[in-house]
């Protein structure tokens, strides 16, 4: 996965918008104003942070060396994923989907999709 395929995948989800609230090198994806993924644009290898269920976050970290506690995030609820080719594409997409779905579930009922 590269930055363009990550961007396309995230933007294809309902009600997603992208922004740069933390500076010009940190791309953030939000659903209904709530962040579900962020990525640095200045890294040679794609890395991104995704929200996780705490138990699932630990599972991913134990299963893949390229998944680490969320950098600059709440380590219980966020993972940093290094897309270095060691994690299958379908698993990367699953992590993104899980993050998106967790955020949607946390929205007020009227805003849930």
Average pLDDT score, the chain: 93
Beta bridge mates, 67: 81
Give the largest Cα separation in the chain, rounded: 40
Coil, strand, or helix at residue 86? coil
Q: Which helix (H) or strand (E) holds 13?
A: none
φ and ψ at residue 100, rounded to 5 degrees: -55, -50
For the entire predicted model, the pTM comes to: 0.93
Q: What is the pLDDT of residues 3-47, one digit of tens each?
A: 999 999 999 999 999 999 999 999 999 999 999 999 999 989 999
């Amino acid at each position: 996965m590269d930055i363009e395929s990550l961007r396309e995948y995230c933007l294809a989800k309902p009600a997603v918008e992208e922004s740069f609230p933390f500076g010009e090198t940190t791309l953030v994806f939000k659903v209904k104003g709530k962040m579900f993924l962020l990525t640095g644009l200045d890294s040679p290898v794609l890395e991104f942070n995704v929200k996780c269920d705490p138990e699932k976050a630990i599972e991913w970290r134990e299963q893949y060396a390229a998944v680490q506690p969320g950098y600059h995030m709440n380590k219980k609820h966020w993972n940093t994923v290094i897309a270095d080719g060691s994690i299958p594409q379908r698993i990367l997409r699953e992590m993104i989907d899980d993050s998106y779905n967790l955020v949607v579930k946390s929205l007020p009922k009227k805003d849930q999709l």
